[in-house]
Structure 1
């Protein structure tokens, strides 16, 4: 049986089940988990407590679901996410027992179900709940579009960093800039004619690659993709994607960009999680330990030479007390560690992490570059 289950409820047909399965498997392939997730149609969904499970309820007008069965699922610990095509009609499309739950709007243009798949992975703990985006642009060439994207992505519950909005008065501008970049999921580059002529945008793009972020290129009309951005996923705009002023993006263009960002975020988080886990495995082998098992919520278990086990939870971005709590709550015997990449993290945040690490004893922080040294210290 698969490690993870996604039950589809409500207005579901065979095509929706097949598409959800394909999208989830594509997102999980970089983690080696493509075969560890099961997508189950309504009639067959019966979650077991031994496996992580989430239910997605696809609402529609006129449906009369078994509310008792839905309440029973929630009482037994299965989270249910209501999904509708239009949040303005949320009450008409969902049963009363689900109306207190924050719903997800799934537009008709989202043919791959990427937003619903991302939410499922977030609930299952395979993707962080934080949704952080860094907008990289040249002010003289794309300020209007950057402000539009800031507002639109914020409405989709992304935490968006825009340099004109994200640095508090009195703070060190450059330190905040790199801190926010190091804690982002995606760098969205507005690739205008002179994007790579700016020292700042070149630094932002280079540091994003250094952090293993997947950049998303939004290409302006007539601007060819530079060889410098060959690693970026790309959406090429035409003049028809802009309003008559040539500066503001059309509503449909914003939606296209939002879906591309969802996909880039999923791919980037999977790759960075895999990179963290691989670094830990290499560190364990370096001190004569070995990879032992794959655990829930992207965790891995390594066994040291002494047979002592260490359960390691990868933190994408800057770890928090919640990550330490997650690691502390993992089932199994052994030490608990939260591994993270501290490159680009500000001195102030590094100091906070050192303090936090001293407060929690059931799980400790472990910097990726120092993993072998810290694992060696855990030998009894």
Structure 2
């Protein structure tokens, strides 16, 4: 059994601690399927954490932190445990954070509503959540470009890569192929449902493809505009006078409240959306495994195992376009057999040139690529 550790360093009465513990426990319930768990400990228990454990330290910074907290920070640094310093205002980071963590980039938690973003960062550090952080904004240039740009800047400031078709596809690229690949490779879609979005040539195709690829998100709905039926699986966010500004009845921008609502909803949904996407990917695998008498055990955010009474097979898993790290992980986990490793991903939307690139790398690493929707490929598994 693999245990993961979140080490929270700070005052026991800090309200941020209880909120973070609750959020982390909620997001890691599925670890029970693989017999794993997330153990959340305070600074007094840091020496009980195994040296080789998957761990991350969260420091709830304040002025005048005690000796036990400073010692715990030093112990985490000595073990090379990733550290996330948390402050209420980054402008005061150097005066609030203890000297032991000032070399790390801090996380600003000025509002408890942002605890979802912090929880996501913790899970990313532990390898339990995809760290690519990619957002696809679907919008109509005619009446929502300004809002799209606002959101692009806000998401970028929170370490996301943002795809917008007006600026993200280089000249000369096959527009629709690149667009669908970027969509399949995203964590979430933000659909700006403005009056003109229904006239946008590709919007219905984008939303239908997102549904097919298992990529969900939020639908930001302009006043007096009906929710798109095609985007019914998106969580709605209705614009009003509190979260948007308008001139002559036309939305011109989101307010700071509106921007925060979009950011927080995506942050709150990311782990659940990843679980949903993994579940969709594993559904045909489970169906095929039943015909062979295998049991399928998912390991949150990482891989799956197929096994019967005799054989156990590890298959690494990637959402969207596999990265070099995905390939490295599959290669390192490989057994001595040929092919050297197995990587499961859905090729839906991946361009021919990207597929050729993956095949080139896979052949040199002796990796076997498995498509969850093609049962014929699974017959090569012993």
| Structure 1 gaps, min length 5 | none
Contact 1:287 1:376 in 2 (8 A): no
Distance 1:64 1:364, change over 3 A: farther
Local SS of the residue matching 1:369: coil
**Cα deviation digits, residues 36-94 of structure 1 (max 9, x gap):** 22322333343224642221111123324543432222322422211222222222222
Local SS of the residue matching 1:313: strand
Choose which of 359, 375, 379 in structure 2 pairs with 1:376.
379
1:365 maps to what in 2?
369
Query: Shift of the alpha carbon at 1:197?
Result: 4.1
2: distance between equivalents of 1:329 and 1:224? Answer: 50
2:256 maps to what in 1?
251
2: distance between equivalents of 1:38 and 1:115? Answer: 19
Distance 1:347 1:192, change over 3 A: same
Query: Shift of the alpha carbon at 1:235?
Result: 1.6
2: distance between equivalents of 1:333 and 1:271? Answer: 33
Q: How many residues align?
A: 374
Distance 1:70 1:348, change over 3 A: same
Pair 1:69-2:72 in alignment: yes
Return 4-13 or 32-41, whichever deviates more. Answer: 32-41
Contact 1:309 1:333 in 2 (8 A): no
Mapping of residues 103-114 of structure 1, within 5 Å:
103-108=106-111, 110-111=112-113, 113-114=115-116
Mapping of residues 251-290 of structure 1, within 5 Å:
251-290=256-295
Contact 1:7 1:41 in 2 (8 A): yes
Local SS of the residue matching 2:28: helix
1:37 maps to what in 2?
38
Local SS of the residue matching 1:240: coil
1: distance between equivalents of 2:229 and 2:300? Answer: 39
Distance 1:2 1:41, change over 3 A: farther
2:204 maps to what in 1?
202
Return 192-201 or 115-124, whichever deviates more. Answer: 192-201
Contact 2:207 2:230 in 1 (8 A): no
Local SS of the residue matching 1:281: helix
Distance 1:39 1:72, change over 3 A: closer
2:243 maps to what in 1?
241
Mapping of residues 209-220 of structure 1, within 5 Å:
209-220=211-222
Local SS of the residue matching 2:245: coil
2: distance between equivalents of 1:270 and 1:333? Answer: 31
1:299 maps to what in 2?
303
Pair 1:83-2:86 in alignment: yes
2:186 maps to what in 1?
184
1:322 maps to what in 2?
325
2: distance between equivalents of 1:317 and 1:298? Answer: 13
**TM-score normalised over the length of structure 2:** 0.88
Distance 1:132 1:266, change over 3 A: same
2: distance between equivalents of 1:186 and 1:353? Answer: 23
2: distance between equivalents of 1:163 and 1:193? Answer: 19
Local SS of the residue matching 1:171: coil
2: distance between equivalents of 1:337 and 1:331? Answer: 7
Distance 1:137 1:90, change over 3 A: same
**TM-score normalised over the length of structure 1:** 0.88
Local SS of the residue matching 1:319: coil
Distance 1:119 1:231, change over 3 A: same
Distance 1:365 1:11, change over 3 A: farther
